[in-house]
Amino acid sequence: MAEGITPKTKTLGRIEKDALKKIPGWSDYLSKATALTKARAEAEDAKDKIRDLIKKALKHDGEIDFVMEGDKARVFEVLERKERGRQSEDLSSMFR
């Protein structure tokens, strides 16, 4: 980790799917989370199309993104992408 950067989270581990099924309320959460995941994927596809149109209009070769701020969209160039995290401990045995 780079010096001077304080982590915002700490991974405790992971839980296998079979163990999750035993947690009360899991199936309700799963159905709602699945619907949310689908909606996010559809929104990301739509956002990709808008990004492409904005890039074409700006005649910009680099990677761009935008966010809505009130009634306007702030468009910015992406200079650096975030890195993905590491693997975590398996916590499934706690739910068997």
Look at residue 80 in the predicted model and tell me its pLDDT.
Answer: 84
Any idea which residue has 């995941």 for tokens? 37
Q: Measuring CA to CA, how many Å separate 22 from each of 17, 26, 88?
A: 9, 8, 21
Count other C-beta atoms under 10 Å from residue 93's C-beta.
Answer: 10
pLDDT band at 90 (very low <50, low <70, confident <90, very high): confident
In which element (H, E) is residue 76 found? Answer: strand 72-77
CA dihedral 58, 62, 65, 69 (to 10 degrees): -50
Radius of gyration of the chain measured on its C-alpha atoms: 20
Could you tell me the pTM of the whole model?
0.59
Residue 3 has pLDDT above 80, yes or no: no
SS3 category, 40 = helix
Mean pLDDT value across residues 5-31: 93
